[in-house]
Amino acid sequence: MMHAIVERLSNAGHLDRIFVDGQWVRPVGHGRAAVVDPSTQDVAAEIALGSRQDVAAAVAAARDAFVEWSVSSIKSRVSLLDRVHALILERAEVFAYAISLEMGAAISMARSAHVPSAAAHIRVASENLRRYPFVSHREGMTIAREPIGVCGLITPWNWPLYQITAKVGPALAAGCTVVLKPSELSPFSALLFAQVMHDAGAPAGVFNLVNGEGPEVGAALAEHPDVDMISITGSTRAGVLVAQAAAVTVKRVAQELGGKSPNVVLPDADLVRAVPGGIAAAFRNVGQSCSAPTRMIVPRDRLAEVERIACETVSRLVVGDPRSERTTHGPVANAAQFNRVQEMIGAGIAEGARLICGGLGRPPGLERGFYVRPTIFSDVHPKMRVAQEEIFGPVLSIMAYDSIDEAVEIANDTIYGLGAHVQGRDLDAARAVATRIRAGQVHINYPAWNAHAPFGGYKRSGNGREYGLEGLEEYLETKAILEHSDKQPA
């Protein structure tokens, strides 16, 4: 199936093209990027990269299409979103294998999380569109919520399809047109999604895709005067650069950036549930999630028990070939990320954190591929690098506290504020702690993922919100209409 994905894209000509104004076209530039299979380190394929000229063409197409799409009926937009949703589900297995190939997700993870969650973003956008009050009245005026315009969408390599639909769905629902720049490191699912948009009957120019690198295509989108909004998911560094480039034209910038999320285990928590659940959440997607709870904050008098359960949990993980049904965790997505994780594990050892499982290098028997040993440190001090810096790999820091106030202080001792977790039997106590944590989303006792729940960060984790109604509203402007009347009351 892996070779079939590349063959499918190659035969369709998509590897050499971008999608602009409803057509697959060859980019003006001659840049190429190798897409590496992280499980083997072999080049799976090469894709063509766009240029600033290609961005200009895509933006012009989106600007022209906005004239009609912005005033299209709710019924027609719902119909398009529903067709896109149906096609993603219909092609779910193809998407799952593409994601596994391009960024190393275990096929079971791609099937159970990456693809269905991506489809859910489109479904939720359709549901919200059906019921959203675009026009309301209060205190003698009309309040209209109108599409902001042409939106540049910049998405990352770690959840490639999921982050695309999280932006494209609400943008189209709002009546905006879009130019998407997916990560050039994991572009296969994006190319497949562009074909879904075509096959679903999206009007020409409503959806455009330009592959390319950040300094070229991303910067061109951020700077372009006819782009009304940029939505970026990526590193804090990338978010800052995009915001700086966008500031000249005073466009709206929505950012979902880095994280260093805490998981506060309260004294009454059931450790048999809390600890394995915390490791599953932290190591989900091989730790390559911006909201991963990679700091487990636990009562000091229960530290030894936490460590024992944690090591037992890690021993049951199966790291290996992402195409194997037995594998729970594949490789990290690329060479740069592999090197970053190794650097940070080394930093934890050098700074005196106590390594209780995992460590440097690949797991035994895996000599090739970007495989990482699931790693846990204990006795981690809040100022250590492993406690402060986003690692983006399967590395967990266990930190002990003596009081609830100290636990909250440790949880908030970060420049980030994207997600957080709290574990405890007493829900009132858990809720009280949740309200004190400075983060955009807090999970108590590992609830199911909810595609309607708004997601976004405090502090350097970004601005704005995605998902749910709040995600839709990011793509809307607010207009107040006030009238004067000479009519006298009877």
Q: Are 167 and 474 in contact (CB under 8 A)?
A: no
Identify whether 311 is a catalytic site residue: no
3-state secondary structure string across the chain = CHHHHHHHHHHCCHHHCEEECCEEECCCCCCEEEEEECCCCEEEEEEECCCHHHHHHHHHHHHHHHHHHCCCCHHHHHHHHHHHHHHHHHCHHHHHHHHHHHHCCCHHHHHHHHHHHHHHHHHHHHHHHHHCCCEEEECCEEEEEEECCEEEEECCCCCHHHHHHHHHHHHHHHCCEEEEECCCCCCHHHHHHHHHHHHCCCCCCCEEECCCCHHHHHHHHHHCCCCCEEEEECCHHHHHHHHHHHHCCCCEEEEECCCCCEEEECCCCCHHHHHHHHHHHHHHHHHCCCCCCCEEEEEHHHHHHHHHHHHHHHHCCCECCCCCCCCCECCCCCHHHHHHHHHHHHHHHHCCCEEEECCCCCCCCCCCCCCCCCEEEECCCCCCHHHHCCCCCCEEEEEEECCHHHHHHHHHCCCEECEEEEECCCHHHHHHHHHHCCCCEEEECCCCCCCCCCECCEECCEECCECHHHHHHCCEEEEEEECCCCCCCC
- Strands 32-37 and 419-423, sheet pairing: unpaired
- Exactly one of 184, 216, 223, 256 is catalytic; name it: 256
Q: How far apart are CA 399 and CA 293, in angstroms?
A: 12
Active site residue 256: yes
Q: How many whole angstroms separate alpha carbon 311 and alpha carbon 341?
A: 19
Identify the active-site residue in 223, 290, 307, 390.
Answer: 290
Take residue 259 and report the two structure tokens written for it.
């994280």
Tokens 């970004």 correspond to what residue? 462
Catalytic annotation, residues? 256, 290
